[in-house]
Amino acid sequence: AQKITQTQPGMFVQEKEAVTLDCTYDTSDQSYGLFWYKQPSSGEMIFLIYQGSYDEQNATEGRYSLNFQKARKSANLVISASQLGDSAMYFCAMREKLNTGNQFYFGTGTSLTVIP
Amino acid sequence: DTAVSQTPKYLVTQMGNDKSIKCEQNLGHDTMYWYKQDSKKFLKIMFSYNNKELIINETVPNRFSPKSPDKAHLNLHINSLELGDSAVYFCASSHIMGGANYGYTFGSGTRLTVV
């Protein structure tokens, strides 16, 4: 089974509108972390937001918020007031804490295009 | 079967040693990458190979040398390891056609600790 699933290979959004990028995850661990990264054309993976499995509040960082629904195992990224510079690939990732150490899993990414 | 596999998963070694990390993908992708995660957050791209040719070579010390014997493999060799090389290294692959990227797959990472 996939550990991280991103079902939207490509998304379009009008500038200044909000957009939600979907992410579901699969784990039987109690302690894990969820991340979103942005990858512009330069190739770097820029950290956007983090949600710990024990955090009760949804994480927010500026225009980014993570809609964490633990029972549904979903961690969707919401970008408000989209800007042209938000056009990029977005990756959801999970870190599991195993007895042997941390293990990371990444989704296949969603390509977001912001339309002027 | 693991799509992108990196070996070893953990590597502890002394300063000054030379070590290699191997990466193999069985997805038929034509592009492979190495990323370094040194802050728990930011993944910095190091190298990218497309069809065995180097297309991205960011500013990394020349102690780091990638080797791509074929499209399915991209190994990372590190000479004269330093304490600052301690990090998690991720391999990834993707398929690029007509300038469009059709999906990434990442390996699970190799945690390198230099002592």
Structure tokens at B69: 């014997």
Quick one: pLDDT at residue B76?
Answer: 96
Q: Residue B45 pLDDT > 90, yes or no?
A: no
What are the pLDDT digits (tens) for B103-112?
A: 678 888 898 9
Which chain A residues have any C-beta within 8 angstroms of a chain B C-beta?
A: 9, 35, 37, 42-47, 50, 89, 91, 93, 100-106, 108-109, 111
Q: Residue B59 pLDDT > 80, yes or no?
A: no
pLDDT band at B53; cut points 50, 70, 90 = confident
What are the pLDDT digits (tens) for A22-69?
A: 999 999 888 898 999 998 877 677 889 999 999 889 999 999 999 999
Question: Is the C-alpha dihedral spanning B93, A69, A20, A8 positive or negative?
Answer: positive
Q: Which residues of B touch A42 (CB under 8 A)?
A: 45
pLDDT band at B98; cut points 50, 70, 90 = low
Q: Residue B96 pLDDT > 80, yes or no?
A: no
Quick one: pLDDT at residue A42?
Answer: 72
pLDDT band at B3; cut points 50, 70, 90 = confident
Which has the higher per-residue pLDDT, B102 or B46?
B46
Q: Residue A71 pLDDT > 90, yes or no?
A: yes
CB A33 within 8 A of CB A48: no
Share of chain B above pLDDT 70, in %: 84
What is the rounded CA–CA span in Å between residue A30 and residue B28?
Answer: 35
Q: Residue B21 pLDDT > 90, yes or no?
A: yes
Quick one: pLDDT at residue A102?
Answer: 62
- Mutation target vs A (from B41, B46, B94; most A CBs, 10 A cutoff): B41
Distance from CA of A41 to the nearest CA of B (A): 10
Of the candidates A24, A4, A22, the residue with the CA atom closest to the CA atom of residue A106: A4
Q: Cis omega before residue B8 (within 30°)?
A: yes
Q: Residue B40 pLDDT > 60, yes or no?
A: no
Phi–psi pair at A107, nearest 5 degrees = -80, 175
What are the pLDDT digits (tens) for A75-103?
A: 999 999 999 999 999 999 988 876 655 67
Mean pLDDT of B53-69: 83
Q: Where would I find the beta strands (DSSP E) of A1-116?
A: 4-5, 10-14, 19-21, 24-25, 32-39, 46-52, 60-61, 64-69, 74-79, 88-98, 101-106, 110-115
Q: Which residues of B touch A106 (CB under 8 A)?
A: 90, 92, 104-106
Q: Over chain B, what is the mean pLDDT? A: 85
Question: In sequence order, what are the residues at sequence separation of 6 or more whose Cβ sits closer than 8 angstroms to the Cβ of residue B15?
Answer: B81, B82, B83, B114, B115
Partner-chain contact B45 A101, CB within 8 Å: no
Quick one: pLDDT at residue B54?
Answer: 79
Quick one: pLDDT at residue A98?
Answer: 66
